[in-house]
Amino acid sequence: MKTDHLHYGPWEWAVRLRGIENLLYDVVDRPQFVHRLMDHITTGLVAYHRQREAAGAYDAEASLGLHQPYDEIPASLRHKLEGGWVYCHAQSAASLSPAMYAEFVHPYNERIAALFRRVYYHGCENLNKKAGIIAQLPGLRHFHVSPWTDPEEVIPQLAGRTVVLEVHCHPTNVLFLYDPAEIRQEIRWRIARSQGAVFDLKLCDIQTIEGAENKLSLWSTIAQEESGRQ
């Protein structure tokens, strides 16, 4: 398997190696095999990123991007893993129960997260029942709340942690179904469900606008208006 860069999700590498259907059978039929596979992958990922660090090839500022907010990085940590953000994820584990996620995914994500200063957790799936597990990641600071995740269900599970919610509106509905009133209604609903937390609103994962050129600026304007009411 050739790749230019190894990302930070052990479970997703397991999916690439085994195939998602095989791996989902494995967690039931061959659980110890899955643990050996996940341990092998995670050990390799840790070694890879440590080698990048030792070679001076890691730039903590490069970890700031689409989801990770700008962060003042101490000069002494500029080329250290402990100076940067890590993008943790396991979206292909969406169909695992919370208990299976806690057993087969979370411990290995923890080992990756422990290398870095701060953690962004990305999950386009419904994380209502898994947020409390993910909240245990060391350094968790930014948590993706997809259109299928209810912020109000997530917030109590993150209690006691300094975490910003990244609350996403539904891109397909915004661009192709909603009129301005419906866009405003969705934004108001997500803001209302996010009360009690620090959060940012986002419209993301857009592959095409299919001629709806004004929808992006319209969404941005309405989001700013509704945010200003709070």
- Residue 191 forms part of a structural domain: no
Question: Confidence class of residue 36 from pLDDT cuts 50, 70 and 90?
Answer: very high
Q: Which residue has the tokens 């991007």?
A: 65
Residue 48 has a CB neighbour count (10 Å cut-off) of 12
- Residue 88 forms part of a structural domain: yes
Q: Of the candidates 164, 147, 185, which has an alpha carbon nearest to the alpha carbon of residue 155?
A: 164
Question: Confidence class of residue 3 from pLDDT cuts 50, 70 and 90?
Answer: very low
Question: Which residue would you say has higher pLDDT here, 168 or 7?
Answer: 168
Q: Tell me how long the chain is.
A: 230
- Residue 98 forms part of a structural domain: yes
Does residue 230 register a pLDDT over 70?
A: no
- Residue 101 forms part of a structural domain: yes
Q: Of the candidates 162, 124, 160, 161, which has an alpha carbon nearest to the alpha carbon of residue 144?
A: 124
- Residue 207 forms part of a structural domain: no
pLDDT of res. 111: 97
Backbone angles phi, psi at 5, to 5 degrees: -155, 135
Q: Of the candidates 202, 195, 194, 169, which has an alpha carbon nearest to the alpha carbon of residue 183?
A: 169
Does residue 2 register a pLDDT over 60?
A: no
Number of independent structural domains in the chain:
1
Q: How do residues 92-148 score in pLDDT, each as one tens digit? A: 999 999 999 999 999 999 999 999 999 999 999 999 999 999 999 999 999 999 999
